[in-house]
Amino acid sequence: MLQETPLRSVAAGVPGEGPRPHAARPYLFLSDIHLSEAIPHTVVAFEHFIRITAQQADSVFILGDLFEYWIGDDMLVEPFAARMAALLHSLSERGIALYIMHGNRDFLLGKRFMKAAGAIWLPDPFVITAFGTRIALAHGDAQCTADRGYQLFRRFARSRVAQTLFLAWPFRWRQSLAENMRSKSEHGRSRPVSPKYDVTATGIAALFRRSKAATIIHGHTHRPAMHREPGGTRWVLPDWDLDHGEHRGGYLRIDAEGIRALPLE
C-alpha cells in the first residue's frame, strides 16, 4: 500500500526549508551508500566525495540508506558513527547545505544525528524546484507497491509507537538484531533481484500525479538508469559498493546545463 505522505514544495530562500537556487553551484544527489565499518573502500570513496567532489556544490541530497543500519541516535557513541557525522558536518562548515531523507535501513536517524551532521531532514517524498525544474525526491521503497508485505511492515515500522518500543530496548539487543539482519542481507547479495522488489508503474504514476513534478529522483532499487515515463523523467540513483565484486557507485548533478549521472572520482 502506498504511504500517503503529503508533499511539500520548497520555498526558495527560506532558511531551514529547502535548497537555495544558485546559478553557478550545482545540486548533488546520492543514495544507498550503506556505510559501515565492514566496507572500508566504500567509506574511503564517501569521504572523498564529501571532502572533494562536493566542494563546489550548493547542496548535497542523500536520499536514504546512508548507513547499512541505524538503530537509534545513541549509535553516535560509537566511533565510526561519530566520525561519519563529523565528516558530514564539514559540509555546513563550508557553506554547503546537506539534506538527508530516511531510507528503509536508516529511518531511525533522528534529531540528535541531524544536529551532529549539520543536516536538514527531508520527509519522503519531497518536492524541490532546481534550475527551473520541479523535481520529486523519494527513497523509492514506498513506490515498490507490488511487495504488499513490505508496505505493511514499512507503515508499522515508521509509526511512533513501534519506534518508541524498539528504542526502549537495550542498545546491544538492537545492535544484535541489526547485525543479524545485515548478515542475512549479505547472504542474499548474489541472488537475482525479483521484480517484486522494484518500483511499480502504479507507484511511480501516483508520485508524478501527487507531486505535479516533471522529474522524479529516487534510489533504493540499486538499478541506476534514466527512464522516460508517461508522467515525466525518472532517474534512479546507484548504490555504492567498492568492496564486493564489480565496483558500483555514482551520483546525479543538477546545474544550469541539466541533469547528469556521474561516476565516482
**Interval 114-125 mean pLDDT:** 96
Give the long-range contacts of residues 118-123, CB within 8 A, separation 24 or more.
Answer: 118/88, 118/89, 118/91, 118/92, 118/93, 119/88, 119/92, 120/16, 120/18, 122/61, 123/5, 123/8
pTM recorded for the entire structure: 0.89
In terms of residue numbers, what domain contains 159? Answer: 27-262
- Please state whether 56 falls in left (phi above 0), alpha (psi between -120 and 50) or beta: alpha
Is 126 inside a domain boundary? yes
Any domain includes 20 = no
Q: How many residues does the chain have?
A: 265
Cα–Cα dist 136/64, whole Å: 14
Domain annotation covers residue 254: yes
Beta carbons of 33 and 251 less than 8 angstroms apart: no
Is 13 a member of any domain? Answer: no
Query: Which domain CATH number covers 91?
Result: 3.60.21.10
Residue 125 lies in a domain: yes
Residue 179 host element (H or E): helix 171-187
The average confidence (pLDDT) of the chain is 88
Confidence at 186, pLDDT banded by 50, 70, 90:
low
Of 5-9, 64-68, 141-145, the one with minimum mean pLDDT is: 5-9
Which of 12-21, 36-45, 150-159, 212-221 shows the lowest mean pLDDT across its residues?
Answer: 12-21
Does the pLDDT of residue 180 top 90, yes or no?
no
Within a domain: residue 190?
Answer: yes
In a domain, 81, yes or no: yes
pLDDT value for 194: 65
| 29-33, 166-170, 207-211, 233-237: least confidently modelled range | 166-170
Asked if the structure places residue 10 within a domain, the reply is no
Domain count, the chain: 1
